[in-house]
Structure 1
């Protein structure tokens, strides 16, 4: 990489400029790196023009994407796993709807002499044209059709994407980039010759698209009653409204199939539309929203079916099919299917629409040796071809993709075209640029409670069946949806940034805060973070609370106090979720003082022997017959080899199990079957011994594993999970509550608070500890409960048990792997 360097026209310059900016999951998931958090924040502030600038910086087809983008950002949203993702795509549409088609962005005039030719005015070609024009180079953009837009115009029906929206985007591009000259009705090989363009231009980019539909590849697929999905949609989008037969069968399960089936349903004469897909509902590639829309409009779905022949008749066809069986995933990640012999059946229909893929075709490029079957021979490394200064991008180069993937390829191709124009032989590899505009976090009191709201579904329009099938947001709904954003872009990734952010909030909320205070807080927030690749097990310090969530404390300083009451089963209700352990061998005076402090704090003690006094006792036993009738709960430590046997069920006494990583699967299954009251997760592997936390760092992955097992069984709240391992403070406890624990157990930290000192044998209590043990532990319990409550309240919660994984991020790769929460700047864990 020594020879790799940037060049003067560097498309990667669109960076934040912040030394520790970590792009949020939505931005990472977007192939073109859209600054989602900033434009969502601007919508909440009512700054729609600024929001469009943030969108259009990387997305020239902003209006198109606001309606039909497959929105990979939304499943990546941290709120998706809770009450639904931020409606990012719909918010993008709102911006364009609010500004209207006549709104324009500042123009960038060309100032350089070299010229570029781009063949194809689809998403990839338009994106590349805008990037190259921004860099100051004139562009000749050639389009074979009478209108620009490619498959965005000709392949997506009006009820999803009105053609006027496509034209509005293109008008904005051409107005913003006066250096682009658009040449319509200029097909490659007829009016435009590749050798002529190579002579007249300094670089050529091929973005011809994959505009030809594929056949089914079965007998009879060229019959009169069969049409490919691309041709069908092109005709409909061109204004054709034929009267079709009563029954239509669409073969396929992708975007073209969804558009084709819904379009067919809107045409005259059609009574039934069936989609036949060769895999099951879990494997169909269409977006959930598109599937739900098609079903709502009356489309029928037939899964695990593959066509084997089309028998053509005079008035209709017969589609002969076989049922399919699914096997293991193949190299592409999709499950391999096989035909079930003897499962043949026939579907009578008037028309078969084959929506099984697209391909590129060009005799002109084939004549130059640039075609490899139905694709252009293209190097993915630099988007180049075998011909010097001839590049390729889009579906014709790399196969069918989504709209936003095509735009990514347009950006990437433009980067290497500009490198060639600048004479850079070995440019640094292209990377999606990430940028933040540092928009303030929405201060909406209802930000956490506002629900996800889908745009209103309109279905088949009347009298025009091709009118919008989905409405946009009004201003109030858009603002509410924007307020829901967690604003993950405010993170720096520093291990201690949650504390820094909280301190900064308190400081900056003061009425006498000065500009210098803001500067100091910002510098502290951007302090150097530790190496995320440190070896060893993950620690609690590598999980932090989202600073954007923490800022919600200042929304309402008079908000009700955060509740800490904790129920561990019928009859065992505590004032707080922190339990104490470890004082088995402490001096009697210490044990007595500790028992009093635990009782007054509304906590409980966990151990093999009870403390003197009235504090609730959860007894640890190795055998069920050892259960003490005075214990509030009996916790059986499960052997990794023997089957557990529960203690006798005494009135009012809870029964529980203790699980380690090695036994958690058996413990959870047994606990669900026997309906135990609670389960203790021993992250250290040594719980029950003296001062077990001194044995080493806990395995944090145990808690997410247990929660996952309960979720798989459909019994996520069947019993509370109590965590042991590594807890020191209320913040540590809050983190484990967010991961799914109902309470936490502390031993060493509590022993130190009670005056103990670490010694080779564990903790020693000097004589003077007797006097302050009770007061020390009482202060510790009060502080820990307050701190846990404060972390929850800072996240906008009124109950510590409402903390969620979405309130956390990790700051190391090992923590990300252990708890399944994405590290700052990385994609969400599947």
Structure 2
């Protein structure tokens, strides 16, 4: 059982740079474990391979593995990818690991604690957690079902992509560093190994990191025939040293990394004359890396898209072959995950004569011991997605077994996260600060190669199948090529050392860099930057002014990535898709002339009105009172809270009419439950607690903590992506809108700001309109400017869709805002 020991406090800023305003570059943010990419690339150019190796291995115990097979999300985020190609970050890592990695050893660490921790699974998640826990002084007993450590890296990736010696180097580096880690090989969880009861009895905490160990079946008739195998089992045989003779025609079903590895492995086996990959969507939806697809095609593998299997049947008189029935598919609309759906095309059936079918359609966890304890559901271990705690006290779960099949680097992130929460629990911290990936910079020198702007991306040389078909198919860089490729880095991590760094500063740099900027403009911009500004006092509730963005950096003023337009289209409900995420409300009692001008500008802008009464020619989000009935003309009906009664859907005018609920702090929990359980189209969060009154957002500072709380409640019900949120309260500008979207809103609603644009003025009674005719054009310009400003904030954080903003793009300026939102303060560093 778990017992508490000394008081515990985890400082999440312990691995920070020490700079007061360090902002990590896009590549570092995209890396799930926060690898200090900018520094190690800079150190490679500077010739400091040892320094680069330290930066690479600081958070990544599988550095050698990742240098060959990482999916490299850092490269997708690289700003140069939108110009002439991303920096070859993964290949640069390999150049260092091959040069120094085999003999590199980290300083040894001895255990200092008496309590022990058990970890089941010695793969990327388990070994990463084991290292973190050992570094904290705890002895760790690591139980592995296979005869070698490494998990999927050891048995799931063929030798031609990842030599076994590289995996062994990474594993041994961890074990030699941490003498407190004891590895028990060939010891599965359950029968023939160790029971969960024994682990809980003998250790202070247990971490289940045993991976997704079983391939999913095809799910069609005949998928249990002997000529049908799953991709994981196939690869495990190959990586175990088997080289079976296969039939002439092998078909692989799937489009992910396992499919690519399986088809390329099959191509190398005796007897095989043709390998075909069938994938039910198009190449654009294929999850496998483009690099891996190109390698498969270069090796002569056929990839056929928009085809789905429907059955596998024996061929009479041909015991060594089967008939694979297939149907062609047509792509549909994108789903919640952004991937397009598909459907079978009528009368498009055809049959293939196949010797072996390899199903690479996903993995799951299947362990009888876990089922016996009620810890498995739909192929995953039941665990809180944030803390990774399971329903069993003292038992945590991480990696593919808990979160579903993913990548090696994401499994390592789960290992770091699990270690954090295990340590918190062991030290009696019941409510630790939420885990976040630590970011650090080593402030490596900038490359001084004058060719940096002209040097193009150079892929590592593809070797293909040589004399040894199982030898590596990708060459390493030589020293000069690595240095030239490192020089291409924009070094987005080096611009943010100023204590006055802000989005405005970055935009000033843009303006100063434009060729059409006049001398007068330059003078004004410079004076504006030099003008000292007092720190504003922020009494009472935190507001959107207490939040700031982490902007993309422009060390070299390369602006090509920002020329791409930022998408703003906002689907809000069935039949209600807006041009942008900014709605207007609060004009139900305004003069007719004001409402007419408002209707014209909203129609021109492509957005909707929120209120009790409709505006002509404009999509209407109706606020329905306690005894009201939704109007048939309302595109979306929102039920207002009913005093003394729980939230409930409004009375609808038609069965298919989308509906939602308005929620305040007092009704949020109940509203979320009703919205999820009864299929609401959206939630309107009223941070002002004054809707539907006109001028409601003049009532006072909004409760911005309501947004992250709503996201937390939705996430707990696994409905975060299912219920869009419209935020109301305190929005005055496009920056405020972008901050609300980053906190989790789908759209925002303005009232007073739109009134001011229409010519309204404040008096003692609130917002009033003079007799002069209101200007629809002025409001249209305000909406356009606000949306453009919000889009600019998104692009400044490296996004090309305003809805991709996220909490990680923000920092808070006050403790009150940090407490309200859970977002850490800018410039936080370890005390002392």
The bucket for the TM-score relative to the shorter chain is 0.5 to 0.7
| Cα distance in 2, alignment partners of residues 325 and 499 from structure 1 | 44
Offset, 1:822: 2.8
Give yes or no for the alignment of 1:219 onto 2:221. yes
**5+ residue gaps in structure 2?**
1-6, 511-529, 559-603, 607-785, 805-832
Which residue does 2:494 correspond to in 1? 490
Q: Distance in 2 between matches of 1:188 and 1:813?
A: 54
Alpha-carbon contact 1:35-1:434 (below 8 Å) kept:
yes
Offset from partner CA, 1:363-419 (integer Å, 9 cap, x none): 111111211131111111210011111000011111100111111111111110010
Q: What pairs with 1:103-114 in structure 2 (closer than 5 Å)?
A: 103-114=104-115
- Determine the C-alpha separation between the residues in 1 that align with 2:394 and 2:277: 44
Distance 1:446 1:827, change over 3 A: farther
What's 1:338 paired with?
343
Instruction: Tell me the CA shift for residue 40 of structure 1.
Output: 0.6
- Find the counterpart in structure 1 of residue 322 from structure 2: 317
Cα pair 2:9 2:429 within 8 Å, conserved? no
Alpha-carbon distance in 2 for matches of 1:217, 1:543: 46
After superposition, residues 97-176 of structure 1 pair within 5 angstroms as 97-176=98-177
Residue equivalent to 1:360: 365
8 Å contact 1:370–1:376 — kept in the other structure? yes
Q: Is the 8 A contact 2:282 2:305 kept in 1?
A: yes
Query: 2:91 corresponds to which residue?
Result: 90
Give the match's secondary structure for 2:82: coil
- The partner residue of 2:554 within 529, 541, 546 is 546
CA distance in structure 2 between the aligned counterparts of 1:542 and 1:126, rounded to whole angstroms: 32
**What is the aligned length?**
543
1:46-65 matches, cutoff 5 A: 46-65=47-66
**Is contact 2:552–2:796 with CA below 8 Å preserved after alignment?**
no
Q: Is 2:284 the counterpart of 1:262?
A: no
Note the C-alpha offset of 1:197: 1.2
Q: After alignment, is 250-259 or 486-495 more displaced?
A: 486-495
Give the superposition deviation at 1:813: 11
Q: State how 1:419-458 maps to structure 2 within 5 Å.
A: 419-458=424-463
Change over 3 Å in CA distance of 1:820–1:397 after alignment to 2: closer
Please give the secondary structure, in 1, of the residue aligned with 2:146: coil
Equivalent of residue 478 in structure 2, options 469, 474, 480: 474
Partner SS for 2:287:
coil
Tell me the distance in 2 between the aligned counterparts of 1:359 and 1:100: 33
| CA pair 108-549 structure 1, distance change in 2 beyond 3 A | farther
Distance across 2 between alignment mates of 1:69 and 1:527? 46
Contact persistence 2:10–2:432 (CA under 8 A): no
For 1:489, what is the secondary structure of its paired residue? Answer: coil
- Which residue of the partner structure matches residue 295 of structure 1? 297
Instruction: After superposition, give the CA deviation of every residue in 1:103-160 in whole Å (9 maximum; x if it has no partner).
Output: 2121222222221110000110011111111111111111011000111110000000
Alpha carbons of structure 1 residues 481 and 271: separation in structure 2 relative to 1, 3 Å: same
Contact 1:542 1:815 (C-alpha < 8 Å) held by counterparts: no
Give the distance between the partners of 1:814 and 1:422, measured in 2 at CA.
48
Matched, 1:821 2:795: yes
Deviation at 1:306, TM superposition (A): 0.5
TM-score (norm 1): 0.62
Cα pair distance change 1:529/1:818, threshold 3 Å: farther
Deviation at 1:194, TM superposition (A): 1.1
Name the CA distance, whole Å, in 2 between partners of 1:527 and 1:178: 54
Residue in structure 2 matching 1:399, options 383, 401, 404: 404
> What are the residue-to-residue correspondences of 1:220-619 with 2, within 5 Å?
220-313=222-315, 314-462=319-467, 464-492=468-496, 493-494=501-502, 546-548=554-556
CA contact (8 A) 1:23 1:824 kept: no
2:143–2:188 contact (8 Å) kept in structure 1: yes
| 1:425-475 CA-partner distances (Å, limit 9, x unpaired) | 11011111111111111111111111110000001121x101001011111
Structure number, greater radius of gyration? 1
Structure 1 residue 224 displacement after superposition: 1.5
* Residues 426/545 of structure 1: CA separation in 2 closer, same or farther (3 Å cut): closer
8 Å contact 1:27–1:34 — kept in the other structure? yes
- TM-score, normalising length: structure 2: 0.62
- Distance in 2, matches of 1:548 and 1:824, equals 16
CA contact (8 A) 1:28 1:827 kept: no
1:494–1:529 contact (8 Å) kept in structure 2: no
Check the 8 A contact 1:42/1:48 in 2, yes or no: yes
Q: CA deviation at 1:340?
A: 1.6
Q: Per the alignment, do residues 133 and 815 of structure 1 end up closer, same or farther by CA in structure 2, a change over 3 Å counting?
A: farther
Change (3 A) 1:488 1:331: same
Report the Cα distance in structure 1 between the residues aligned to 2:343 and 2:328, rounded to whole angstroms: 9
Using the TM superposition, give the Cα deviation of residue 281 of structure 1 relative to its aligned residue in structure 2, in angstroms: 1.2
| CA distance in 1 between partners of 2:211 and 2:162 (Å) | 19
Relative distance call for 1:450 and 1:423 in structure 2 (3 A) is same
User: Do the aligned partners of residues 445 and 268 (structure 1) sit closer, same or farther apart at CA in structure 2, a change above 3 Å counting?
Assistant: same
**Partner deviation per Cα, 1:762-794 (whole Å, 9 max, x = no partner):** xxxxxxxxxxxxxxxxxxxxxxxxxxxxxxxxx
Paired with 2:391 and 2:437, the residues of 1 have a C-alpha distance of 25
Q: Displacement of 1:819 after TM fit?
A: 7.7
Deviations 1:572-624 (A, max 9, x none): xxxxxxxxxxxxxxxxxxxxxxxxxxxxxxxxxxxxxxxxxxxxxxxxxxxxx
The worse-fitting range, judged by mean Cα deviation, of 478-487 and 186-195 is 186-195
Structure-1 separation of matches of 2:35 and 2:787: 24
Aligned to 1:73: 74
Q: 1:529 to 1:820 in 2, by over 3 A?
A: farther
Relative to structure 1, the CA distance from residue 141 to residue 165 in structure 2 (aligned partners, 3 Å threshold; closer, same or farther) is same
Q: Tell me if structure 2 keeps the 8 A contact 1:494–1:527.
A: no
- Separation in 1, partners of 2:60, 2:235: 25
Distance across 2 between alignment mates of 1:136 and 1:222: 48
Q: What's the offset of the Cα at 1:55?
A: 1.3
Superposed CA RMSD in Å reads 3.2
For residues 461 and 534 of structure 2, the distance between their equivalents in structure 1, rounded to whole angstroms, comes to 46
Rounded to whole Å, the distance in 2 between the matches of 1:134 and 1:50 is 21
CA contact (8 A) 2:790 2:802 kept: no
* Contact persistence 2:79–2:798 (CA under 8 A): no
1:43 aligned residue: 44
Off by >6 Å, runs of 4+ in structure 1: 498-502, 526-535, 541-545, 824-830
CA contact (8 A) 2:492 2:553 kept: no
